A = this chain, B = another copy of it.
Amino acid sequence: MTAGLVAGVDIGGSKALAVVVDDANRVLGQVRLPTERGAAGVVATAAEAVRQATEMAGSTLTELTAVGVGIPGLVHPSNGSVSHAVNLDLGADPVDLSAALQRELGVPVSVENDVNAVAVGAHRLAGARRGDLAVLSIGTGLAAGIVVDGSLHRGSRGGAGEIGHIPVDPLGRWCSCGQRGCLETIASGSALSAAWQPAHEDGSSVWSAAGAGEESAAAAVRSFGAGVAAAVRLLVLAWDVEHVVLAGGVTGVGQPLLDVVRSELLAAEAGSAFLAAMRLPERVSLLPSQSPVAAVGAAVLARDSLLESFTAIPDTLLPDSSVDEMSS
C-alpha cells in the first residue's frame, strides 16, 4: 500500500515552509511564506502554503492523501490542538489546528511539535544507513527530538526530550521553569546572549566578535559550547543514539558552532577514558540549514499516521490484499 502525495508544513515565528513529497520523500513542490500570527493567521498561512506547494508540484489538493504540520508549542497528542506557541501568539487556550486546517483543505491533517518533525525529517533524509538519532534544537530554549529503531519516541505523555530542564549546576542561573541551573540556562540562544557582557542588542554578532578576538564574546561562546557539549553527552549517555544533530535558530552561524562544541567535547574527554570511548565529537553534526527538514518530517509523520489508520482495519476487510503483501 502506498500513500501517494503528502504535504508537510513547518510553521515558524516568521516564516512557514511547505513541501509536497512523493512516496520516496522526493520534494516535488516547495514554498516559503511569511507567517501570519494568531489562530486564524496560522491556519490561513498553512493552508495557503500547502495550496501553493501543491500547485508547484503540478498537482491538486484532491490528489493529496494527508497533510502534516510541524509547529512550536504544546501539541495535544490525540487531537492535534496547539497551545503555548508564544512566537505565534497562541496562548494557553488550545487552538484546534488539525480540525480547522482539515476543513480548509479537505485532507486529513496531523500536527506534531516542530522539534519532533525535524528529528523525523533528519532521520529520513539521511537514508536507511543512519541509526538512532537525536536532534538537539537550540533556539530561545533547548529540547531534543528522538528517533529510535526508525520511529519517533514521544514518551508516555508526549513529553520525551525535555532535556532543557534537567538541572546540571546547583549554583547555576535560575531558569524560567523555576528550577536552578537547567541545561537551557547554559545551552540556548538566550543563554549565549546573556553571557556576553556588557549586554548587547544583537546577540547573533557574538560569533563575529568572538572570531575577531573580543574576550568577553569568546568566553560567552566557549561557555555556550560547553553547555551544548553537556547536552550532547547527556543524549548519548541516556539513549546511546548514534547521531546527535544540532538544529534550531542558533545553528544559523554554521561551522563555528560545530567547532566550539567539538572542541569542548574533546576538552571534557581529556580526563576520562570512559568518555573518550564514546567518540562524541564524531557523533555530532549540523542540520543542513537550507534543507526543508522539518516540513519533510511533518509530511512523513502525516503519511505514517495515515498508513497506521489503514493497518488498523483487519486484513480480511481489505479485498485487494494479497499473500505477497501480507508476508512482506
> Contact residues of A with B, CB < 8 Å?
131-132, 148-149, 151, 153-163, 165-171, 177-179, 230, 233-234, 236-242, 268, 271-275, 278, 314-316, 323, 326-327
> Contacts of A153 on B, CB cut-off 8 Å?
148, 239
Given A167-B230, A275-B177, A314-B327, check contact A239 B238 (CB 8 Å): yes
Contact B170 A272 (CB under 8 A): no
A235 to B, closest residue via Cβ: B238
With known contacts A169-B170, A327-B315, A179–B275 Cβ distance under 8 A: yes
Copies of this chain, whole number: 2
Does B239 contact A160, Cβ atoms closer than 8 Å? Answer: yes
Cβ of A166: which chain B residues have Cβ within 8 Å of it?
233-234, 237-238
**Which has the most chain B C-beta neighbours within 10 Å: A154, A155, A163?**
A155
In contact, B272 and A177 (Cβ under 8 angstroms): yes
B171 and A171 within 8 A (CB)? yes
A160 touches B238 (CB 8 A): yes
Known A165-B237, A178-B275, A239-B239; further 4 A-B contacts with Cβ < 8 A: A154-B240, A162-B240, A168-B169, A179-B275
Contact indicator B268/A158 (Cβ below 8 Å)? no
Q: Pick the contact of A271 from B154, B157, B179, B274 — CB < 8 Å?
A: B179
Asked if B179 contacts A156 (CB within 8 A), the reply is no
Partner of A237, one of B162, B171, B327: B162
Contact A274 B178 (CB under 8 A): yes
Taking A166-B233, A326-B327 as contacts, is the C-beta distance between A239 and B155 under 8 angstroms? yes
Max chain B C-beta neighbours (<10 A), residue from A240, A315, A327: A240
Residues in B whose Cβ lies below 8 Å from that of A242: 156-157
6 pairs of residues in contact across A and B, judged by CB atoms under 8 Å: A155-B239, A159-B237, A167-B168, A177-B275, A178-B275, A179-B274
Q: Say which residue of B156, B170, B240, B272 sits within 8 Å of A132 (CB atoms).
A: B156
Q: Which of B156, B161, B272 is within 8 Å of A178, CB to CB? A: B272
Distance in angstroms between the alpha carbons of A179 and B272 in the assembled complex: 6
B132 touches A274 (CB 8 A): no
* Closest CB in chain B relative to A276 CB, distance in Å: 9
